[in-house]
């Protein structure tokens, strides 16, 4: 018997060594048809059904023959296979036209994948992506509830229905809060993101949004606010203001009052600001413990405090060999992290007196000087601004400058190409204290 698989894309692309799949004889090119009699349409169903301890896995071989494998396994055992697409079928593209969309502000000539806007709830589950929920069908929502998929990361921006429609430019955008209430009733965990745009969703509107979200606690676990980013490539796009020292300071003061309120009411600060606000306002960040486990770390919330603690802890464990190491190296970083990295470099040099560490602030000429985070620095700007400088034996950069799964910069230049063009070893460091210190003192 042959199955019509024209509409299916569950093609096995990899089989891990010593896995259940390898033991059974599943091969690259085989097609997954069903698990326990249920057709597999996407990764949500696959992960959910895979958790059973007894499986009947239906596979179509390359020659068209169908096999059903009976498998007994532990609850958390994986089959050990990957598919030709990580979410099994094509990612859903975004139909919104957000006034602050960063992709709309990209220049031409960058990696092709950067221009694809995804708004796929499965990528939220798989990779932590934030989704607006505007592109979800009733079937999608029912599936999340039925399969207890959690957590889901939501780009909220505002809970004001009319304002959300205006900001996202999608007629379904105003239904957000009703959907979130359904998810909360089903005990689905949610993390929320707010891109703050001065004159749109800040001040009183921010207060309203946080108040609405807090009513869904603990299923809305937390909310993070990040400042809107504006590049110099905004032709034919709506005018947007950006935060400055004064408005960033006002936002911090507003959120500090909310911290007091929600600590009393919920036992959590609930709403957190990204580190960029504190850097812009020249204000001290929250203390390490005040970030409550860094639940919004991926939104840039508490990254500096966390890295500082980890670096300081790592410096207390150094061997005599590391303390006496003699090297001259350099670090390239963005404007936002520059003062902090200078401080960390000094602490390392104080501990290791034979070290010379020079820190260079890379101005973002590619996107525009208003973009200050390290993750949006290009290889072109690094090369242009560090040309002719004695960088020592190694140049260190944040790993965030590179694509998550590949050593390539936003301007399509690879790490190897940057090494060759600069004539120096360029080493990316994770945003972790141990990795940062170990690599510099290697």
Mean pLDDT of 228-236: 83
Distance CA 310, CA 436 (A): 9
Q: Which listed CATH number (3.40.50.2300, 2.30.42.10, 3.40.50.300, 3.90.230.10) goes with 12-83?
A: 2.30.42.10
pLDDT digits (tens, 9 = 90+) for 236-248: 778 889 999 999 9
Mean pLDDT of 194-214: 97
Query: What is the end-to-end Cα distance of the chain in Å, rounded?
Result: 59
- Least Cα distance to 378 among 355, 400, 357 occurs for 400
- Model confidence band, residue 113 (pLDDT cutoffs 50, 70, 90): low
Distance CA 161, CA 21 (A): 48
Q: What is the pLDDT of residue 98?
A: 79
Q: What is the pLDDT of residue 6?
A: 40
Q: What is the pLDDT of residue 114?
A: 57
Distance CA 330, CA 345 (A): 10
Cα dihedral: 411, 416, 421, 423 (round 10)? 140
Q: Is the pLDDT of residue 120 over 70?
A: no
> Are 232 and 202 contacting, i.e. CB atoms less than 8 angstroms apart?
no
Average of per-residue pLDDT values in the chain: 88
The structure's pTM equals 0.80
Q: What is the pLDDT of residue 4?
A: 46
**Residue ranges of the chain that CATH labels 3.80.30:** 103-301
Q: What is the pLDDT of residue 51?
A: 76
**One-letter-per-residue 3-state SS of 227-244:** ECCCCCCCCCCCCCCCCC
Distance CA 27, CA 25 (A): 6
Q: Tell me how far CA of residue 116 lies from CA of 93, 94, 155, 232, in angstroms.
A: 7, 8, 17, 20
Q: What is the pLDDT of residue 112?
A: 62
Q: Is the pLDDT of residue 232 over 90?
A: no
37: its two tokens: 């009699």
Q: What is the pLDDT of residue 406?
A: 86
- Least Cα distance to 398 among 300, 284, 278 occurs for 300
**Residue ranges of the chain that CATH labels 2.30.42.10:** 12-83
pLDDT digits (tens, 9 = 90+) for 265-298: 999 999 999 999 999 999 999 999 999 999 998 8
Q: Is the pLDDT of residue 123 over 90?
A: no
Q: Is the pLDDT of residue 429 over 90?
A: yes
Q: What is the pLDDT of residue 238?
A: 81
- Model confidence band, residue 94 (pLDDT cutoffs 50, 70, 90): low
Distance CA 397, CA 8 (A): 42
Q: Is the pLDDT of residue 357 over 50?
A: yes
Q: Is the pLDDT of residue 121 over 60?
A: no
- Count of C-beta atoms within a 10 Å radius of residue 412: 15
Mean pLDDT of 69-96: 74
**Residue ranges of the chain that CATH labels 3.40.50:** 308-440
- Count of C-beta atoms within a 10 Å radius of residue 426: 22
Q: What is the pLDDT of residue 397?
A: 97
Q: What percent of the chain has pLDDT above 90?
A: 64
Assigned fold of 308-440: Rossmann fold (3.40.50)
Helix, strand, or coil (residue 313)? helix
Q: What percent of the chain has pLDDT above 70?
A: 90
Q: Tell me how far CA of residue 155 lies from CA of 81, 83, 121, 139, in angstroms.
A: 31, 28, 11, 20
Place of tokens 């090494």: 419
**Range list of H helices, 368-407:** 379-386
Enter the CATH code of domain 103-301: 3.80.30
Distance CA 186, CA 173 (A): 21
Burial class (CB in 10 A: 0-12, 13-18, 19+), 181: middle
- Model confidence band, residue 9 (pLDDT cutoffs 50, 70, 90): low
């Amino acid at each position: 018997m042959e199955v019509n698989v024209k509409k299916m894309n569950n093609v096995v692309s990899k089989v891990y060594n010593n896995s259940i799949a390898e033991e059974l004889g599943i091969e690259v090119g085989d097609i997954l048809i069903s698990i326990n009699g249920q057709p597999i349409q996407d990764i949500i169903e696959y992960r959910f059904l895979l958790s059973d301890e007894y499986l009947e896995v239906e596979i179509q071989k390359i020659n068209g023959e169908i096999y059903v494998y009976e498998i007994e396994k532990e609850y958390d055992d994986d089959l050990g296979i990957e598919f030709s697409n990580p979410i099994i079928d094509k990612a859903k593209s975004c139909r919104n036209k957000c006034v602050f969309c960063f992709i709309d502000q990209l220049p031409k000539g960058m990696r092709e994948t950067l221009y694809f806007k995804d708004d796929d709830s499965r990528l939220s589950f798989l990779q932590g992506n934030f989704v607006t929920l505007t592109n979800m069908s009733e079937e999608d929502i029912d599936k999340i509830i039925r399969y207890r998929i959690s957590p889901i990361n939501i780009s909220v921006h505002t809970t004001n229905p009319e304002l959300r429609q205006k900001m996202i430019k999608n007629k379904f955008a105003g239904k957000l809060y009703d959907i979130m209430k359904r998810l909360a009733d089903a005990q689905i965990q949610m993390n929320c993101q707010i891109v703050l745009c001065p004159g749109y969703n800040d001040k009183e509107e921010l207060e309203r949004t946080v108040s609405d979200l807090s009513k869904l606690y603990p299923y809305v676990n937390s909310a993070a606010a990040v400042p809107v980013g504006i590049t110099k490539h905004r032709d034919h796009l709506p005018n947007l203001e950006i935060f400055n020292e004064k408005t960033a300071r006002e936002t911090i003061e507003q959120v500090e009052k909310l911290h007091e309120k929600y600590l009393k009411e919920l036992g959590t600060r609930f709403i957190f600001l990204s580190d960029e606000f504190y850097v812009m306002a020249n204000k001290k960040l929250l203390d390490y413990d005040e970030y409550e486990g860094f639940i919004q770390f991926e939104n840039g919330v508490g990254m500096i405090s966390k890295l500082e603690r980890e670096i300081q802890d790592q410096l207390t464990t150094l061997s005599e060999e590391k303390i006496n190491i003699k090297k001259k190296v350099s670090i390239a970083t963005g404007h936002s992290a520059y003062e902090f990295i200078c401080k960390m470099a000094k602490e390392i040099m104080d501990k290791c007196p034979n070290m010379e560490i020079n820190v260079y602030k890379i101005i973002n000429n590619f996107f525009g000087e208003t973009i200050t985070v390290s993750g949006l620095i290009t290889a072109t700007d690094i090369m242009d601004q560090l040309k002719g400088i004695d960088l020592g034996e190694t140049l260190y950069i944040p790993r965030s400058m590179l694509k998550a799964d590949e050593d390539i910069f936003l301007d399509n230049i690879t790490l190897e190409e940057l090494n060759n063009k600069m004539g120096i070893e360029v080493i990316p460091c994770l945003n972790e204290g141990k990795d940062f210190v170990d690599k510099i003192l290697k």
